[in-house]
């Protein structure tokens, strides 16, 4: 069942495992430290099904054929959940690996879903908005008619190359087919707020990275393992990938926690500034120019990959899988890596980095902020009411009563009362965005605490990754057992 651990010195003698093999090898490391009933481990590991579809769309006067996938890894809980990716490199191995990660991710953050993932082999940059809508609607139709998009069975979300726009098309396509489904909007998450989405979903994965880092630094024993101390303030950070996740994570930890983003690696090269980049300005520049080249707030470096190996406290890979691999792992100088992307560190690189004492906050926990807020959106869609709508003003009323009484008591006692700023802050009830952030913060803290407990309690658990997989697997196993399997 379990695979032998590679000896780091022998790693060069074989080819690096595929993405799916990487996930399974990591799972094996956890399984080797657990006692599961015979056959259950295999049941958990395998991908239940993968649907592959080829469909044609008439574009620019001819029919173009596209290939898409939807993999369902585990249905121990339904619906199953996971994004739809638009990228040229999408293939069966990738969607199955990503679907498996979704199962483990949902278990770690206690989002009550099984794992799934979809993908379309396409470079979205080559199509107009109108063409993309046609392609998305057709792909969605293929999945909807097989219940691979459904509020109760399979709920997609954005991923690389897709966003709110695509999710709105998918949701609308579902409602055209299932005209009387009152819960239809819950068939997909990551929709725009005006189309049934939730406030805070766009920033959610980046926000989750921020909450995960804050929680990590709340435990000095943990940061000490990485040779770090204090909090995020003044930490030198390099971010690889500046899409939705990387840019939000960078902006939030720079603006709200005082981290210095000393490097950003993009497709066309990297931009460096040892004093910290102005993240919103860089975002604006990239939106306008499509490349960091020419940005005045930093030095442009053409060979972006080399910057991964630059000295820093925290490295945030936030793009593709496999970017830290056998070739560059030994040169990585970061003390802490937080995996904002799925699978950015290969199995071999993970072995090398662990040997070097680099602490890795693993993907199945670190980037789970997205699916956590997707869970809130799904609940909102099923309950047909915005979070906070019933209680917000009631909360304000009670706060008013308390402040009024405090004013009276302090006046009677000849004392000064609370400051006007405090009053203003305290009086207002929480809106949906604040509630979403609070729910996400609580989720990220609770999950980290459960993972670190395994990491610290057991002498045979050397990494947060193994601990996170052990946590996920034990929860999935419990689900399967209670189902009678
Ligand atoms: N695509 C995101 C992920 O990989 C979000 C999934 C979701 O919200 O269902 O976690």
pLDDT at 5 over 80: no
Main-chain dihedrals φ then ψ at residue 9, nearest 5 degrees = -75, -15
Give pLDDT tens digits for 324-366: 999 999 999 999 999 999 999 999 999 999 999 999 999 999 9
Work out the pLDDT band at 407, boundaries 50, 70, 90.
Answer: very high
Q: What is the tens place of the pLDDT at every residue in 163-201?
A: 999 999 999 999 999 999 999 999 999 999 999 999 999
Task: Answer whether residue 13 shows pLDDT above 60.
Answer: no
Q: Does residue 2 carry a pLDDT above 80? A: no
What is the best residue among 119, 190, 249, 436 to mutate for testing ligand 1's pocket, by most ligand atoms within 8 Å of CB?
190
> Which listed residue (45, 117, 236, 380) is catalytic?
117
What is the model's pLDDT at position 15? 83
User: What is the pLDDT at residue 7?
Assistant: 46
Percent of the chain predicted with pLDDT > 90 = 94
The arithmetic mean of pLDDT across residues 450-479, rounded, is: 98
Respond yes or no: is residue 306 known to be catalytic. Answer: no
483 pLDDT tier (thresholds 50, 70, 90): confident
Percentage of the residues of the chain whose pLDDT score is greater than 70: 97
Q: pLDDT of 251-266, one tens digit each?
A: 999 999 999 999 999 9
Q: Is the pLDDT at 296 greater than 80, yes or no?
A: yes
Q: Find the 205 Cα to ligand 1 centroid distance in Å.
A: 9
Does ligand 1 lie within 6 Å of residue 342's CB atom? yes
For ligand 1, atom 9, the nearest C-alpha belongs to 82
11 band by pLDDT with thresholds 50, 70 and 90 = very low
pLDDT score of 10 more than 90: no
pLDDT of residue 14: 61
- CATH number of the domain at 204-369, please? 3.40.50.720
Mean per-residue pLDDT, 358-384: 98
Give yes or no for residue 189 CB within 6 A of ligand 1: yes
| Ligand 1, pocket-test mutation among 72, 82, 90, 209, most atoms within 8 A of CB | 82
Q: Please answer whether residues 330 and 352 qualify as being in contact, where contact means their C-beta atoms are separated by less than 8 angstroms.
A: yes
Domains 8-198+466-482 and 204-369 equal at CATH topology level: yes
CA distance 459 to 168: 48
- From the CB of 159, is ligand 1 less than 6 Å away? yes
Ligand 1 centre to CA of 40 (Å) is 26
Residue 243 near ligand 1, beta carbon < 6 Å: no
Residues 30-67 as b or e (16 or more Cβ within 10 Å = b):
bbbbeebeeebbebbbebbebeebebebeeeeeeeebb
Phi, psi angles (nearest 5°) of residue 84: -120, 125
> Which residues are within 8 A (CB) of 420 and not within 5 positions of it... i.e. 6 or more apart?
none
pLDDT at 293: 94
**Pairwise CA distance, residues 476 & 179, whole Å:** 34
Mean pLDDT across the stretch 283-294?
Answer: 94
pLDDT at 17 over 50: yes
Cα 353 to Cα 337: distance, rounded to the nearest angstrom? 10
> Residue range 12-24: average pLDDT?
85
For ligand 1, say whether the CB of 317 is within 6 Å of any of its atoms: no
Phi, psi of 191 (to 5 degrees): -75, 160
Is 379's pLDDT higher than 80?
yes
Residue nearest to atom 8 of ligand 1 (CA): 371
pLDDT tens digits, 216-229: 999 999 999 999 99
Ligand 1 pocket, 191 CB below 6 A?
A: no
Which mutation among 374, 376, 440, 444 tests ligand 1's pocket best, with the greatest number of atoms within 8 A of CB? 374
- Please state, rounded to an integer, the average pLDDT across all residues of the chain: 95
Domain ranges of the chain: 8-198+466-482, 204-369
Q: Which protein residue has the closest C-alpha to ligand 1 atom 7?
A: 371
Q: Which atom of ligand 1 is nearest the CA belonging to 189?
A: 8
- Ligand 1 atom closest to residue 158's alpha carbon, by position in its atom list: 1
Separation between Cα atoms, residue 223 and residue 221, nearest integer Å: 6
Overall average pLDDT of the 86-111 stretch = 98
Confidence band for 435, pLDDT divided at 50, 70 and 90: very high
Q: How far is the CA of 10 from the centre of ligand 1 (A)?
A: 35
* CATH number 2.60.40.1180 is the correct assignment for the domain at 8-198+466-482: no
> pLDDT of 129-146, one tens digit each?
999 999 999 999 999 999
Indicate the pTM of the whole model: 0.95
Q: Which of 199-203, 234-238, 286-290 has the lowest mean pLDDT?
A: 286-290
């Amino acid at each position: 069942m379990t695979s032998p651990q590679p000896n780091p010195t022998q790693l060069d003698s074989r080819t690096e495992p595929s993405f799916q093999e990487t996930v399974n090898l990591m799972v094996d490391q956890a399984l080797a430290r657990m006692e599961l009933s015979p056959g259950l481990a295999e049941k958990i590991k395998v991908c239940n099904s993968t649907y592959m579809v080829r469909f044609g769309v008439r574009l620019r006067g001819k029919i173009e054929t596209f290939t898409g996938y939807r993999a369902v890894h585990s249905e121990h809980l339904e619906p199953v959940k996971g994004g739809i990716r638009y990228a040229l490199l999408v293939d069966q191995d990738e969607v199955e690996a990503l679907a498996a990660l979704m199962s483990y991710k949902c278990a770690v953050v206690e989002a009550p879903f099984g794992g799934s993932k979809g993908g379309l082999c396409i470079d979205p940059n080559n199509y107009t908005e109108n063409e993309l809508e046609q392609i998305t609607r057709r792909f969605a139709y293929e999945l909807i008619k097989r219940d691979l998009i459904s509020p109760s069975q399979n709920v997609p979300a954005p991923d690389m190359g897709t966003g709110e726009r695509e999710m709105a098309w998918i949701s609308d396509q579902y409602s055209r087919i299932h005209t009387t489904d009152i819960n239809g909007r819950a068939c997909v998450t990551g929709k725009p707020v005006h189309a049934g989405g939730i406030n805070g979903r766009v920033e959610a994965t980046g926000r989750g990275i921020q909450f995960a880092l804050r929680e990590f630094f709340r435990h000095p024993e943990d940061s000490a393992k990485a040779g770090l101390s204090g909090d995020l303030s003044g930490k030198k950070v390099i971010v690889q990938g500046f899409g939705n996740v990387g840019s939000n994570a960078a902006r939030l930890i720079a603006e709200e926690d005082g981290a210095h983003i000393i490097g950003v690696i993009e497709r066309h090269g990297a931009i460096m500034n040892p004093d910290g980049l102005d993240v919103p300005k860089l975002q604006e520049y990239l939106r306008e120019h499509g490349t960091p080249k020419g940005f005045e707030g930093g030095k442009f470096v053409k060979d972006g990959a080399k910057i991964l190996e630059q000295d820093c406290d925290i490295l945030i890979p936030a793009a593709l899988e496999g970017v830290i691999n056998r070739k560059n792992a030994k040169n990585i100088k970061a003390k802490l890596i937080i995996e904002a992307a799925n699978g950015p560190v290969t199995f071999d690189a993970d072995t090398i980095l662990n040997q070097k004492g680099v602490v890795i906050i693993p993907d199945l926990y670190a980037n789970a902020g997205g699916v956590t807020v997707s869970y809130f959106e799904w609940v909102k869609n099923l309950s047909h009411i915005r979070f906070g709508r019933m209680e917000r003003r009631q909360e304000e009323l009670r706060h008013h009563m308390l402040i009024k009484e405090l004013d009276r008591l302090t006046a009677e006692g000849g004392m000064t009362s609370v400051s006007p700023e405090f009053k203003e802050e305290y009086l207002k009830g929480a809106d949906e965005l604040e509630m979403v952030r609070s729910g996400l913060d609580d989720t990220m803290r609770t999950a980290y605490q459960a993972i670190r407990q395994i990491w610290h309690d057991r002498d045979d658990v050397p990494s947060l990754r193994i601990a996170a997989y052990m946590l996920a697997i034990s929860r999935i196993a419990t689900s399967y057992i209670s189902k009678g399997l």
